[in-house]
Amino acid sequence: MQQQDEMDTGNLKIGVVGAGSWGTALANLLASKGYAIDLWVFEKDIKDQIQQSGENSVFLPDIKLSSNLHPSNDLAGVVSGKDMVLVVVPSHVMRETTLLMAGHLAKDAIVVSASKGIENNTHLTMTGVMQETLVEIPSHHLAVLSGPSFAREVARNLPTVVTAASKDSATVDLVQQVMATPYFRVYTSDDVTGVQLGGSLKNVIAIAAGVIDGLELGLNTRAALITRGMTEIRRLGLKMGANPRTFTGLAGFGDLILTCTGHLSRNHTVGKKIGQGEKVNDILGQMRMVAEGVKTAKSVYNLSRKLGVEMPISHETYRILYEDLSPREAVMRLMTRELKQELDED
């Protein structure tokens, strides 16, 4: 690939892997910008529907998709020969999907993760997984995209602001230039770890916020939970070498506030139904879309214990999800913990 300052970005070949709501929205954003976008779709019926009607009615209904968007069930074909590939699959299939991509990518391709999660068994971020599966791609060609961004609002061209991060300035500057539109503003960062942790851990806190709303405990309680939830995210981030300032930005508080309060949040919806008395397995059985926070809660619980990081809200959320702890008991356990000062020393 030519260096960014030599490249006409309008000629970039781009593939998008994953046709859920977020993958479809990002693919359509780029297609509407004029790029010819190959979109890998796992389900044949959805691929056929996009081809025939120009709509993904399962994951992004009532949004007319650009004619520059070309769906395909052929993963190798979608990623082969591309200058840039966006990977937008659920975190629990990131390893499987990228292993299938390996060997088909151009050696100088830039690979962007727009998935939010932490792998259960390894506790790796999504770029951490990619470094193990896409060994042909150097780490400085990996990037992430995160921030407060509901897919439906992006698809409706409502003003949205996000963060792109990479360890390499040329890589992240290119991602910024390619992704930005008058309604989709992109800031850059070099804190790959912090941006990914903020985007992943906020889903766990959003489930907890939904529980609070389901229990009808009020706005005071929700505000406190969001604030103390960010304290937990920051603690883990500092332990893992992230820049603490990241958590005051778009991929931190920005995404946390959106996901904990927005009615379009799948994680908040799961938590709210739990607070209203529904069982986790019943809730998930009714959903075709993925609520990332359910799986991430397990990763965070085990990772924080391994690293010795205090994360009481995240731990109680894990117990609600996996140990059938009563939501009201979880709240009481949090409220009656040992009293202490607010600010961490670090």
Convert the pLDDT of each residue in 239-268 to its tens digit: 999 999 999 999 999 999 999 999 999 999
Share of the chain above pLDDT 70, in %: 97
CA distance 275 to 343: 29
Domain boundaries, the chain: 4-190, 194-335
At 291 the pLDDT is 78
321, two tokens? 């999800």
pLDDT classification of 1: cutoffs 50, 70, 90: very low
Query: pLDDT digits over 266-291, tens only?
Result: 999 999 999 999 998 899 888 776 67
Annotated catalytic, 298?
no
Cα 200 from chain centre: 6
E-strand ranges in the chain read 14-17, 37-40, 69-72, 84-87, 110-113, 142-146, 160-165, 184-189
pLDDT classification of 3: cutoffs 50, 70, 90: very low
CA distance 331 to 307: 24
Query: pLDDT digits over 137-150, tens only?
Result: 999 999 999 999 99
* 194-335, CATH topology level: N-(1-d-carboxylethyl)-l-norvaline Dehydrogenase; domain 2 (1.10.1040)
How high does pLDDT run on average in the chain?
95
Domains 4-190 and 194-335 share a fold: no
At residue 25, does pLDDT exceed 50? Answer: yes
pTM: 0.94
Pairing relation of β-strands 160-165 and 142-146? antiparallel
Share of the chain above pLDDT 90, in %: 92
Contact 262, 173 (CB under 8 A): no
**Active-site residue, from 47, 202, 272, 295:** 202
317-333: average pLDDT? 97
Contacts 24+ apart (CB under 8 A), 7-11: 7/174, 9/174, 9/177, 9/178, 10/34, 10/35
**CB under 8 Å to 191, separation ≥6 — which residues?**
165, 242, 243, 246
For the 4-190 domain, the top CATH level (class) is alpha beta
Q: How many residues does the chain have?
A: 346
Query: pLDDT digits over 51-101, tens only?
Result: 999 999 999 999 999 999 999 999 999 999 999 999 999 999 999 999 999
